[in-house]
């Protein structure tokens, strides 16, 4: 059973997370015509946020709902960094990029020029300083980790990613796709220890599956945009 304070803190964190989630943006026809004349689209990606791992409930009880939410976030950061380092967990956006970017080139009939190292800052002003013209496809992990529903006892892996097409000259996001996915096993109901077993094998397998699904979802959203032309 989840203590009252813990449940309130978890629900608060979930509400904040949902409010901050990015929304899809459709590309208009005029922008699509401009994009078709572009020589190439530059593909960039970014370092991910901290991997999330459920904290214990003690800090939540000690500090109340709001204080517990802050304490939980701090514990998530520390434990998440340790999990990524210990099990050599790869940011799913790398696989998303490999799967999605080439298909974007085919769908839009443009060449794709990919960077091989992640960037730190996805601020549009920062991109404008380096890219003064043309289009950019940027990809970013917004949220990833091991989560637990406050009303259930087992854990699951979740992933949220974002893709943007940006017209560099005006710092304008002309299209945005979002994936927000969960890989739940309601039959086996795994706990966090099972995700960490065998050098994180189950965790990595779930993240790989979510990365592939994310790339497919982003392509589906972009394809729907093309279908309206």
pLDDT in tens, the chain (229 residues): 445 555 555 555 554 455 467 899 999 999 999 998 888 999 999 999 999 998 754 444 444 555 555 555 556 678 889 999 999 999 999 999 999 999 999 999 999 999 999 999 999 999 988 998 999 999 999 999 999 887 878 999 999 999 999 999 999 999 999 999 999 998 999 999 999 999 999 999 999 999 999 999 999 999 998 877 6
Q: In the prediction, which pLDDT does 61 show? A: 45
> Which pTM was predicted?
0.83
pLDDT attached to residue 177:
98
Where are the domains positioned within the chain?
A: 23-53+89-227
3-state secondary structure the chain: CCCHHHHHHHHHHHHHHHHHCCCCECCCHHHHHHHHCCCEEEEEEECCCCCECCCCCHHHHHHHHHHHHHHHHHHHHHHHHHHHHHHCCCCCHHHHHHHHHHHHHHHHCCEEEECCCCECCCCHHHHHHHCCCCEEEEEEEEEEEEEECCCCCCEEEEEEEEEEEEEHHHCEEEEEEEEEEEECCCCCCCCHHHHHHHHHHHHHHHHHHHHHHHHHHHHHHHHHHHHCC
Per-residue model confidence (pLDDT) at position 152: 79
pLDDT for res 72: 57
Q: What is the pLDDT of residue 76?
A: 64
The CATH architecture annotation of domain 23-53+89-227 reads 2-Layer Sandwich (3.30)
pLDDT of residue 65: 52
What's residue 73's pLDDT? 58
């Amino acid at each position: 059973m989840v203590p009252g304070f813990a449940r309130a803190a978890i629900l608060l964190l979930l509400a904040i997370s949902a409010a901050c989630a990015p929304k899809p943006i459709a590309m208009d026809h005029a922008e699509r015509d401009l994009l078709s004349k572009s020589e190439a689209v530059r593909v960039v990606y970014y370092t991910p946020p901290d991997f999330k791992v459920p904290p214990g409930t003690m800090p939540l009880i000690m500090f109340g709902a709001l204080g517990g939410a802050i304490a939980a976030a701090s514990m998530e950061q520390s434990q998440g960094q340790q999990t990524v380092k210990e099990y050599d967990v790869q940011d799913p956006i790398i696989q998303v990029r490999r799967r999605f970017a080439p298909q974007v080139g085919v769908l839009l009939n443009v060449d794709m020029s990919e960077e091989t190292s992640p960037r730190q800052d996805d601020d549009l002003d920062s991109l404008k300083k380096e890219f003064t013209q043309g289009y950019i496809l940027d990809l970013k992990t917004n949220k990833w980790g091991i989560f637990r529903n406050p009303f259930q006892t087992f854990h699951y892996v979740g992933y949220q990613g974002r893709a943007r097409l940006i017209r560099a000259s005006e710092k304008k996001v002309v299209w945005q796709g979002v994936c927000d996915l969960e890989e739940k096993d309601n039959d086996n109901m795994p706990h966090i220890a099972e995700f960490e077993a065998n050098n994180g094998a189950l965790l990595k397998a779930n993240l790989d599956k979510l990365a592939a699904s994310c790339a497919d979802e982003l392509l589906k959203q972009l394809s729907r945009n093309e279908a309206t032309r």
